Amino acid sequence: MKDKFLRFMYGRYGVDQFSKFLVITGIIFLLLSGFTRYGGILYLFSLAVLIYSYFRMFSRNHSKRYAENQLYLKYTAGIRKKFSAIRYGLSQRKHYHIYKCPSCGQKIRIPRGKGRIEIRCPKCNAHFIKKS
Ligand SMILES: [Zn+2]
């Protein structure tokens, strides 16, 4: 069974970032289609997106699929950067507190769980006390 699948996939393009984006988009629209008045249209749209994503995965035209993926990466670079910045911020928040200096507004990152501490602003040298 696995052999058959591998033989089927041999020479096929496979999954890339654009495919993943299409699959996620398709699934989101599929779920949304159950909740809205325009469900029928959304359902057809999501089906088309999912079929297209499968078509890309099984495609043998690697250069064309690669070019599509590059185009996708190029046009989404800004958004993806913003998202990864948000994700980074959230992961930082687990271990650090971000304080703003009361006198100059400089953001200061303090490790959590150290109790009441005096913080010195690295920019303007102001001192202030916070609970971390
Ligand atoms: Zn300051």
Q: How does pLDDT run along the chain (132 residues), one tens digit per residue? A: 788 888 888 899 999 999 999 999 999 999 999 888 878 899 999 999 999 999 999 999 999 999 999 999 999 999 999 999 999 988 888 899 889 999 999 999 989 988 899 999 999 999 999 887
Instruction: Give the CB-side neighbour count of residue 23, counting CA atoms within 13 A.
Output: 11
Between the CA of 108 and the centroid of ligand 1 the distance, in Å, is 9
Between the CA of 121 and the centroid of ligand 1 the distance, in Å, is 5
Q: Is 61 left (phi over 0), alpha (psi -120 to 50) or beta?
A: beta
Q: Strand, helix or coil at 105?
A: coil
Between the CA of 94 and the centroid of ligand 1 the distance, in Å, is 24
| Separation of alpha carbons 125 and 56, rounded Å | 57
Q: Is 125 left (phi over 0), alpha (psi -120 to 50) or beta?
A: left
Residue 107 belongs to what H/E stretch?
A: strand 107-111
The domain segmentation of the chain, as residue ranges, is: 2-75, 96-131
Q: What is the pLDDT of residue 27?
A: 96
Q: What is the pLDDT of residue 39?
A: 83
Between the CA of 85 and the centroid of ligand 1 the distance, in Å, is 24
Between the CA of 107 and the centroid of ligand 1 the distance, in Å, is 8
